[in-house]
Amino acid sequence: MKQIVLFRLSLLLLSLFFSSLQAKDKYLDNHSCNECHEKIYEEYQSSMHSKSYFDDELHRKIANAADKDKYACATCHMPMANNLKALISGESRPDKSNKTHTDAVSCYFCHTIAYVKTAHKFNINTKARQAKGFKPTLYGRLDKPDDSDKHSSVSNPVYAKKVCMGCHSHKLNDNNTTIFRAMGEDQDSISCINCHMPELAGGAEKMDKRARGRHASHKFLGIHDKEFRKTGMDINVTTAELKLTITLKNKMTHPLIVQPARAKFLKIEINRAEKIIWKNYKKDPSEDKKGYFAYSFKQDGKDVIIPAHSTASSVNNVYANSCKVLSYAVPALQKGDEVHVALYVQLAKSDCAKVISLEESNLTESSLMKEVIFIQN
Ligand code: HEC
Ligand code: HEC
Ligand code: HEC
Ligand code: HEC
Ligand code: HEC
């Protein structure tokens, strides 16, 4: 009897031992990084990468409108899902109690990308194989990184070269229609990192034993940040008789429009003695075709808003590192006339609001990106 109990006990211990070994192969969730990478964790929490299907209203509603059963968007929006295939095929649905779902573009996912393969519909992030029974190896760009008791660290050139391109470069739907094309296939990610992950004070890790003193910001500021979004474009205004010329210069290494739900547009007003004497549109900014930047989609010849099944697409854009010159016929300008040129963004363009109901008003309201005022002399 005693022997049986002992045998049972040793079996239990043995299985505990093995399951603890297996536990090390398990996914390390975002929150587990907080123990040592406090600052980075906090920054990341405020970034769009931490927003999942559950807390990004715009993404969720478009995803559900595109396909109420299959969540094919998971490849880029929920890439760490432990049942990715089932989500894509529609056998399973996003689950709020599953950390690999709520973690969205997770720390562990980004830091285990071994390389990025170029492909036709969208690129493929290839993950590093983790050795069973050992702590995971996380890749980054630190010079001679220390190991920790939770993970090994290895420098990998991918973290300057292709790391952003796995998700941000292009996407085609099943009809081979371009949903977005934001970057060239041979473009390195170092420019993205320089603008979107600037160095901030404080070591990469809490103890900062190596006295690095700085770390790459994980806020990934973008179009949602008021100050940051001023910096992407230059707006230049010149006038001649009966003509207003606006030059838009895109300083970013991606187009102005990289997201099919967005609209960015110009609002131009000429003021004389505090009265508006001219505007580039009456009611809706899309009346001014050249000053309205957005994607548009067609399905079998008809306009559609949700691009999932569209058969053709077009876009009015200002491409990476390039200029666009727009001219407008205006009334003769007098000394002291003020020309107000403002660039606005609508996170979800008006058309979107017609097919999905959005509760967060900041999604459909227009927000200012940048404004310049020119005074005629
Ligand atoms: C190839 C990767 C990829 C796939 C697949 C993908 N997306 Fe995205 N999506 C992105 C990237 C990258 C961004 C960030 C770009 C941006 O915000 O401008 C994004 C952003 C978005 C946004 C804007 C979110 C916001 O709140 O600002 C929406 C909406 C969206 N995606 C919808 C979808 C839907 C719906 C699907 C599935 C039908 C999908 N995406 C599939 C890569 C992808
Ligand atoms: C027990 C503490 C600890 C935990 C928990 C931890 N790390 Fe680290 N991590 C470190 C230390 C220490 C370094 C080395 C820092 C240095 O060399 O300055 C490091 C370095 C890194 C690097 C840089 C690797 C390189 O080669 O450049 C990355 C990336 C990283 N950690 C990601 C993560 C992620 C993601 C998590 C959560 C899944 C995590 N860490 C959890 C302690 C930890
Ligand atoms: C010169 C600085 C700069 C560089 C380089 C740069 N960006 Fe941006 N990016 C910005 C600014 C500023 C914004 C916000 C203004 C805007 O969207 O027009 C932005 C916006 C974005 C957005 C959101 C756009 C939207 O409309 O939703 C994404 C996604 C993005 N960048 C990703 C990238 C990636 C990936 C790279 C590398 C190919 C990159 N950025 C390179 C400055 C930069
Ligand atoms: C979208 C991909 C992405 C996500 C998500 C991400 N990182 Fe990073 N991380 C990077 C890149 C790229 C670098 C290299 C930046 C550099 O060195 O300029 C980096 C650098 C680091 C470093 C080294 C510090 C440094 O200054 O280079 C640590 C530590 C780290 N990340 C931890 C984390 C943790 C913890 C999380 C989640 C809370 C996280 N990362 C989420 C892409 C990501
Ligand atoms: C695994 C896929 C993936 C990778 C890799 C990735 N991103 Fe993203 N990124 C996304 C998705 C998806 C979103 C949009 C999330 C949402 O809005 O719901 C996003 C959003 C962003 C935004 C916010 C745009 C905004 O709306 O303002 C920026 C900036 C950004 N990414 C930059 C980067 C940079 C820089 C890299 C490389 C270091 C990178 N991303 C790598 C998937 C990815």
Q: For 238-295, how does the pLDDT look when each residue is reduced to its tens digit (9 = 90+)?
A: 999 899 999 999 999 999 999 999 999 999 999 999 999 999 999 999 999 999 999 9
In total, the chain counts a number of residues equal to 377
Percent of the chain with pLDDT over 70: 93
- pLDDT 10s digits, 115-164: 999 999 999 999 999 998 899 999 999 999 999 999 999 999 999 999 99
**pLDDT surpassing 70 at residue 17:** no
For position 22, what pLDDT does the model report? Answer: 39
For position 373, what pLDDT does the model report? Answer: 98
In angstroms, the CA 40 to CA 244 distance is 46
- pLDDT 10s digits, 75-96: 999 999 999 999 999 999 999 9
Q: What is the mean pLDDT of residues 8-15?
A: 45
**Average pLDDT taken over every residue of the chain:** 93
In angstroms, the CA 76 to CA 115 distance is 15
Ligand 1 centroid–CA 345 distance in Å is 17
In angstroms, the CA 90 to CA 84 distance is 10
For position 185, what pLDDT does the model report? Answer: 86
Ligand 3 centroid–CA 278 distance in Å is 32
Q: Is the CB of 41 under 6 A from ligand 4?
A: yes
Closest C-alpha to ligand 3, atom 39: 192
In angstroms, the CA 61 to CA 91 distance is 19
What phi and psi, each to the nearest 5 degrees, are found at residue 65?
-70, -35
Ligand 1 centroid–CA 63 distance in Å is 9
Percent of the chain with pLDDT over 90: 90
- Burial of residue 151 (CB within 10 Å: 0-12, 13-18, 19+) is buried
Residues with CB under 6 A from ligand 2: 28, 32-33, 35-37, 107-108, 111, 138-142, 145-146, 148-151, 153-155, 204-205, 210, 212
Going by pLDDT thresholds of 50, 70 and 90, the confidence category of residue 354 is confident
Structure tokens that stand for 67 in this block: 């396909």
Ligand 5 centroid–CA 212 distance in Å is 26
Q: Is the CB of 193 under 6 A from ligand 3?
A: no
Name, in order, each residue with C-beta under 8 angstroms of 144's C-beta and a sequence gap of 6 or more: 155, 210
Closest C-alpha to ligand 1, atom 29: 59
Name, in order, each residue with C-beta under 8 angstroms of 15's C-beta and a sequence gap of 6 or more: none
Question: Among 18-22, 173-177, 305-309, which stretch is predicted with the lowest mean pLDDT?
Answer: 18-22
Structure tokens that stand for 151 in this block: 């993970």
Quick check: 271 and 337 in contact, CB under 8 A?
yes
Ligand 2 centroid–CA 43 distance in Å is 15
Q: Is the dihedral of CA 111, 117, 123, 129 positive or negative?
A: negative
Q: Is the dihedral of CA 315, 320, 325, 330 positive or negative?
A: positive
Residues with CB under 6 A from ligand 1: 56, 58-59, 62-63, 66, 72-73, 75-77, 122, 167-168, 171, 258-259, 261, 308, 347
Quick check: 290 and 274 in contact, CB under 8 A?
no
Q: Is the dihedral of CA 231, 234, 237, 238 positive or negative?
A: positive
In angstroms, the CA 346 to CA 199 distance is 29
- Which atom of ligand 2 sits closest to the CA of residue 28? 38
In angstroms, the CA 240 to CA 8 distance is 92
Q: Which residue has the higher pLDDT, 121 or 5?
A: 121
Point out the ligand nearest to the CA of residue 72.
Answer: 1
**pLDDT surpassing 90 at residue 4:** no
In angstroms, the CA 374 to CA 105 distance is 42
Nearest to 303 by CA among 265, 346, 366, 354: 354
Q: Whose structure tokens read 């003020």?
A: 338
Point out the ligand nearest to the CA of residue 39.
Answer: 4
For position 3, what pLDDT does the model report? Answer: 55
In angstroms, the CA 368 to CA 267 distance is 10
**pLDDT surpassing 60 at residue 9:** no
For position 25, what pLDDT does the model report? Answer: 52
- Which atom of ligand 2 sits closest to the CA of residue 111? 29
- pLDDT 10s digits, 178-197: 999 999 888 999 999 999 99
